[in-house]
Amino acid sequence: MPRRRRLRKIVAPPGFKGYKPYGITHVSKEPVELLYEEYEAIKLADYDLLNHEEAANLMGISRPTFARIYESARRKIAKALVETREIKTVYGNAIMDKSWFVCNDCNSRFTIPKTMDKKQCALCASSNIELINKQ
């Protein structure tokens, strides 16, 4: 049997595009790019308080792979805090069960049921929306 590509399943994309430090005069440094799967790893381990085994199972990856993603996420967040950098969330290698969209007008993130043929923002009804992930 051919080796299956390791999916990094996540339930939902982060509900934000990024974070900015405040109280500093200007941000000129490159932002830290936090991958969706890194965000998910932090959420599962430090917010949902799952152990690495459970979190790895949910994401459909091995425990060592989860540990690597989690470690990378923590280092990036620490770097952003210590070096006063912005955090930008980027797509990475995440797989989501549903198609997720982002609204370019109000920045909300949402899914659209397959039965709905009108593609518009669930919050402000704008049609200026973008698909976040491919199925």
Cβ within 8 Å of residue 36, ≥6 positions away: 10, 13, 14, 89, 90, 91, 92, 94
Residue 30 burial (CB count, 10 A): 10
Using the rule CB under 5 A, give the single segment among 13-21, 34-42, 60-68, 120-128 that binds Zn ion.
120-128
User: Could you say which residues in the range 73-102 bind Zn ion, by CB under 5 A?
Assistant: none
When asked if residue 112 is in the footprint of Zn ion (CB under 5 A), the reply is no
When asked if residue 121 is in the footprint of Zn ion (CB under 5 A), the reply is yes
* Residue in 103, 109, 112, 132 binding Zn ion, rule: CB under 5 A: 103
Measured from the CB of residue 90, what is the shortest distance to Zn ion in angstroms? 21
If the CB atoms of residues 29 and 119 are measured against Zn ion, the closer one turns out to be 119
Measured from the CB of residue 108, what is the shortest distance to Zn ion in angstroms? 5
- What does residue 126 show for φ and ψ, rounded to 5 degrees? -70, 150
**Helix and strand tally (H, E) in the chain?**
3, 8
Among 90, 93, 38, residue whose Cα is nearest residue 68: 38
Question: Which residues are at the interface with Zn ion (CB under 5 A)?
Answer: 103, 105-106, 121, 123-124, 126
